[in-house]
Amino acid sequence: MLKKSMLSKRLKSLGELILHYLPESRKVIDIGCDHALLGEYLGMREDNVEYIGIDRSKPALERTKSYYKKQYTYIPSGFLINTSNVKLLHQTGQSLQSEKSLILIAGMGGEEIIKIMRESVTKDCIFILSAHKNVNKLRKFLADSGYKLIDETVIFDKNHYYETLIVSKNATEPIHPWGSKLWESHDSQDYLKHLISREKPYIAYTGNAKYLKFLESFLC
Ligand SMILES: C[S@@+](CC[C@H](N)C(=O)[O-])C[C@H]1O[C@@H](n2cnc3c(N)ncnc32)[C@H](O)[C@@H]1O
């Protein structure tokens, strides 16, 4: 069992989502893992989770490895850090993904996530995607690429909102370009108000009147 670690509210929420959607294979691939704190969290909460952290930054992974060595004197079995970029997923990905993995991509913009999704083999996996910007662009890409919605939620941490989508090609609900399930939850009301107040002053310039109306229709 791993030691307890301090996680931000955002990462903890992502950890809980991973545990909720953990597939039978118990394989989790964290693309852009950086510090790989989620691997630590999962190891702390559950036995037999195979966590694979991937990051394109060698220095980040070196830092992460030495953190693990210092904390635990070993890198737990089932925890693997690859020092190459996502392309590696193409090579190792075939066998990993044949067992229906859960893939997390978090802590980057929607456009970077789109780039990664375009490059990756994406058979039967469940994806948890948490972008800090351009989420609607990501939604459109996912819908156009045949992904369906399992759920969507918003995580609030340190004055920021992170829209988080759970998608798979095997789900059935279409992905709405501006969000759907997200707005059904009472928890999203603050975020809705935040978005409306952000859009309103610029409506004449952005021409986003339809979007604004759409958002306002979910206000309680
Ligand atoms: C801000 S950190 C986020 C770390 C963690 N996922 C989180 O949510 O806290 C973004 C990480 O993604 C990595 N990254 C960005 N684009 C990537 C890509 N195309 N492939 C692999 N890693 C990528 C960066 O090197 C960086 O370590």
For 105-158, write each residue's pLDDT tens digit: 999 999 999 988 887 655 678 999 999 999 999 999 999 999 999 999 999 999
* pTM higher than 0.85: yes
pLDDT at 204 exceeding the cut of 60? yes
Q: Which of 35, 47, 44, 48 has the alpha carbon at shortest distance from 15?
A: 44
- Higher-pLDDT residue of 73, 40: 40
Indicate if ligand 1 lies below 6 Å from the C-beta of 46: no
Spacing, Cα 147 to ligand 1 middle (Å): 22
pLDDT at 53 exceeding the cut of 90? no
pLDDT confidence of residue 192: 95
Tens digit of each residue's pLDDT (9 = 90 or more) over 143-169:
999 999 999 999 999 999 999 999 999
Indicate if ligand 1 lies below 6 Å from the C-beta of 107: yes
pLDDT confidence of residue 99: 60
- The two beta strands, 160-168 and 148-157, are antiparallel
Spacing, Cα 31 to ligand 1 middle (Å): 7
pLDDT at 87 exceeding the cut of 70? no
Spacing, Cα 217 to ligand 1 middle (Å): 35
> 26 is written with which tokens?
């118990």
Spacing, Cα 188 to ligand 1 middle (Å): 26
pLDDT at 177 exceeding the cut of 60? yes
Residues whose CB falls within 8 Å of the CB of residue 146, separated by 6 or more in sequence, listed in order: 169
Query: Please, which pLDDT band fits residue 93 given cuts at 50, 70 and 90?
Result: very low
